[in-house]
Amino acid sequence: MKKINYLLGMCVFGVCFVQPGYAQLKQLEGFSEVSVQQQTGLEQRFDHLLQSSSIGATIKELSAEPHQLGSPGGKRVADAILKKFKEYGWDAKIETYHVLFTTPKTRVLELLAPTRFSATLKELAVPEDATSGQEGQLPTYVAWSADGDVTGDLVYVNFGLPDDYKQLEKLNIDVKGKIVIARYGRSWRGIKPKIAYEHGAIGCIIYSDPKEDGYFQGDEYPKGAFKNEYTVQRGSVMDMVVYPGDPLTPGIGSTLKAKRLTREEATTILKIPVLPISYHDALPLLSALEGPVAPQDWRGALPITYKVGGNGKTSIHLKTEFNWDIVPAYDVIAKIKGSEFPDEWVIRGNHHDAWVNGASDPVSGQAALLEEAKAIGQLVKSGYKPKRTLVYCAWDGEEQSLLGSTEWAEDHQKELAQKAVTYINTDGNGRGFFGAEGSHAFESFVTEIADDVKDPQTGSSVLKRRWAADVVKAGSSKLQKEALAKTGYSLGALGTGSDYSAFLQHLGIPTLSFGFGGEDAGGEYHSIYDSYENYIRFKDPGFVYGVALSQIVGRTVLRLADAEILPFDFRSLQKTISKYLEEVSRISDQLREDNVVENQLIKANVYQLAADPQKIFITPKDKETVPVLDFSKLKVSLDSLQKSANELYEWQKKLNNTPGTKNEKLNTALFQAEKQLLIPDGLPRRAWYKHAIYAPGFYTGYGVKTLPGIREAIEEGHWQEAREQIQIAAEAVLRLNAALSSAIQIARKIR
């Protein structure tokens, strides 16, 4: 974090800002002293053009009706966004892709034994929410479930994650030929049926337990913000961690003439029927279960004794049939051409499609995007000329697994590989704390921006408020002390779950993702209650965090558009990768020690002795010996990277103080550098994901796995693969190192 140097007075674009005793001049990453004045003035004018009322009006307009992918409402929303961009003076068009999309024809869920019950599968329109009873709503379902008609015994599998199946094994319960019921939470929903299928289940039900998302958390909607007994979370269950986007066109844009896989060839489509349900529908099913009482941490907030079932005494009928249609996805793409570097693109996106009305998800983020576009349009009208090209994108089909953004990125991959300086993403937004994730070379850049934007509720910077929250939340006084001493924002790493995946993880484009939240809790997510009326009560009353988001993203876009030297600092990236290396090294050491001790316990027969003889006991199997992994190659490559990152940073500082330098080649080297971290063959078992540092977890979904090749090989016990992945990661880091060395050579010449 740089210190702010106050000077007196400044004038830009003919407008002068003077505050007695203060002024706006300060240092900015990538700007010389002269241009800082201009940039700061630009940002102040930008801020003044943002209106919370306008954001509110956009949210109301775009969430007025259901507007999912392929729907008339969806088309109307795309057209409305196109119209706005044009009004704002952007060069805008709709790019259409043709994607597979499933909508339900038949949904049946019945308990046949020991009692009978038919699931309602229907949310409740309430008078307090005017749009909750509209025509055109998608029924409650998940996209990419298989067609199926199955009957079987029911097993409760907790969150349905790998550890839960290990617990089931201890209870001698398997799910082969059975239907599982899992609760929402702890992972991306698509992981649950995938793992169920891997364990032989023939169907999967996912329900919202009031513990995580209902009365346990707060009053139910419409009294409060949380799920009521009929609310259902829709969503996608595509196996997105293999590849996102249209299942039929991996790696290429799903244009009309694209060569498509058959549905059978598409590995990301689920093989078993899946239905999401409310707790009203889950209660009779869970109540019917017998067998062992569920482990303590498996129990939710329903007023029952949670049991695991699986003893053959229940019979569940699950039937799903879908329309497997190819539908148009309308990406709205708007540009302002760069005055100096038209072939350097600063890309900013947010999706526009929703599961139903989507006031929060995605319209709140889309409204902030449009507000930025409006303000930038007005700046341009009054003479501002961004040096680099701005590309604003409103994606379609995000909800079905990032369809619009992925297909566009795949379709334009060659151009993007050359031109994309950065991709900046947002999605739903709400009241609370600043959050940012992305490429770690941006860490000090993001810190600087977050320090510049005021939190609307407290008047402190959003950086400081987030810091305060991190300090308070730290788990002990030792950790609080450390957090208190910390300066600078630690960027999170990106997994998946929004439109950045193709840019970052497939194409290696430097990426950022922003949002506010934490004081906007609620249960409207992917339900009919994600409405304007809900939003103004619970998510961002007054739309002030919409403005804050526009301020954050606007600064990011404008600084990247105009920076004399792009604000990459690879020292942060090096430090972060080194931290990840320490983590994976510690994990493998811990696993080795754990397995040694576990085998001692097994040998000493303590599990058998400690077990309740009235309960089932399965003798644990001996654990394998974890080899000592040699991380030295990666370590050495990171040491080299440290040196070049430090040297490059010194050059950037030197050149930054030299106004008017022509740095195009250097800038190109800087924004191209992260692509060196792409692994040519991609990650094992999912070649679409090519980034050596960031990927969604194969068994966590949204949750990121950093150094994914190494980390997942260790977690899955693939030791030879772990060794190979260390080598592959080390090579990637060496390539990055070479790229930074080239950049240093370029910098020397400028000097």
Residues annotated as part of the active site: 398, 632, 691
Which tokens hold the place of 687? 């070649």
Q: Which is nearer to a second copy, 5 or 590 (CB)?
A: 590
Element (H, E) at 556: helix 544-562
Which tokens hold the place of 706? 């950093």
Residue 622 as a binder of a second copy (CB under 8 A): the answer is no
Phi-psi region of 162 (alpha: psi -120 to 50; beta: other; left: phi over 0): alpha
Please tell me what DSSP assigns to residue 20.
Answer: T
- Applying CB under 8 A, which of residues 5, 172, 305, 418 lies at the interface with a second copy? 305
Element (H, E) at 652: helix 632-656
Q: How far is the CB of 526 from a second copy (least distance, A)?
A: 22
**φ and ψ of 277, to 5 deg:** -135, 170
Which tokens hold the place of 539? 């998510």
Range in contact with a second copy (rule: CB under 8 A) among 42-50, 396-404, 453-461, 569-577: 453-461
Q: How far is the CB of 310 from a second copy (least distance, A)?
A: 17
- Taking the C-alpha atoms of residue 229 and residue 470, their distance in angstroms, rounded to an integer, is 34
CB neighbour burial string for 30-57, b if at least 16 within 10 angstroms, e if fewer: bbbbebbbbbbbbbebbbebbbbebbbe
Residue 115 as a binder of a second copy (CB under 8 A): the answer is no
- Taking the C-alpha atoms of residue 266 and residue 249, their distance in angstroms, rounded to an integer, is 9
Residue 311 as a binder of a second copy (CB under 8 A): the answer is no
Which tokens hold the place of 405? 């953004």
**Residue 400, SS3 per DSSP:** coil
x/- mask, a second copy, residues 234-273, rule CB under 8 A, reads ----------------------------------------
Q: Which is nearer to a second copy, 130 or 597 (CB)?
A: 597
Residue 587 as a binder of a second copy (CB under 8 A): the answer is no
Residue 297 as a binder of a second copy (CB under 8 A): the answer is no
- Applying CB under 8 A, which of residues 20, 414, 610, 680 lies at the interface with a second copy? 610
Q: How far is the CB of 428 from a second copy (least distance, A)?
A: 19
Q: Which is nearer to a second copy, 162 or 224 (CB)?
A: 224
Q: At what angle do helices 664-673 and 719-750 cross, to 10 degrees?
A: 170
Q: How far is the CB of 53 from a second copy (least distance, A)?
A: 21
- Applying CB under 8 A, which of residues 9, 89, 218, 488 lies at the interface with a second copy? 218
DSSP character string of 28-69: -TT--HHHHHHHHHHHHHHHHH--HHHHHHHHHHHTSS---T
Which tokens hold the place of 427? 């999605």
Residue 519 as a binder of a second copy (CB under 8 A): the answer is yes
**Residue 446, SS3 per DSSP:** helix
Please give the sequence-ordered ranges of beta strands (E in DSSP) within 418-543, or none if there are none: 420-426, 432-438, 511-518
Please give the sequence-ordered ranges of beta strands (E in DSSP) within 629-745, or none if there are none: 694-697, 701-706
Q: How far is the CB of 400 from a second copy (least distance, A)?
A: 33
Nearest to 111 by CA among 278, 272, 234, 289: 289
Residue 480 as a binder of a second copy (CB under 8 A): the answer is yes
Phi-psi region of 439 (alpha: psi -120 to 50; beta: other; left: phi over 0): beta
Q: How far is the CB of 234 from a second copy (least distance, A)?
A: 24
Which tokens hold the place of 716? 């899955």
Q: How far is the CB of 610 from a second copy (least distance, A)?
A: 4
- Applying CB under 8 A, which of residues 112, 261, 293, 750 lies at the interface with a second copy? 293
Nearest to 599 by CA among 621, 629, 627: 621
- Applying CB under 8 A, which of residues 473, 621, 653, 685 lies at the interface with a second copy? 473
Residue 324 as a binder of a second copy (CB under 8 A): the answer is no
What value does the CA radius of gyration of the chain take, rounded to a whole number of Å? 26
Range in contact with a second copy (rule: CB under 8 A) among 12-20, 46-54, 110-118, 298-306: 298-306
Residue 217 as a binder of a second copy (CB under 8 A): the answer is yes
- Taking the C-alpha atoms of residue 69 and residue 75, their distance in angstroms, rounded to an integer, is 8
Residue 625 as a binder of a second copy (CB under 8 A): the answer is no
x/- mask, a second copy, residues 675-704, rule CB under 8 A, reads ------------------------------
Range in contact with a second copy (rule: CB under 8 A) among 13-21, 147-155, 469-477, 707-715: 469-477
- Applying CB under 8 A, which of residues 129, 209, 220, 399 lies at the interface with a second copy? 220
Residue 612 as a binder of a second copy (CB under 8 A): the answer is yes
Residue count, binding to a second copy (CB under 8 A): 51
Which tokens hold the place of 308? 């695991």
Cβ 204 vs Cβ 274: under 8 Å: yes
Residue 381 as a binder of a second copy (CB under 8 A): the answer is no
Residue 468 as a binder of a second copy (CB under 8 A): the answer is yes
Q: Which is nearer to a second copy, 290 or 340 (CB)?
A: 290
Q: Which is nearer to a second copy, 301 or 380 (CB)?
A: 301
Residues that bind a second copy (CB under 8 A): 210, 215-220, 224, 226, 293, 299, 301-305, 457-458, 460, 464-465, 467-469, 471-473, 477-478, 480-481, 484, 519, 590, 593-594, 596-598, 600-601, 604-610, 612-614
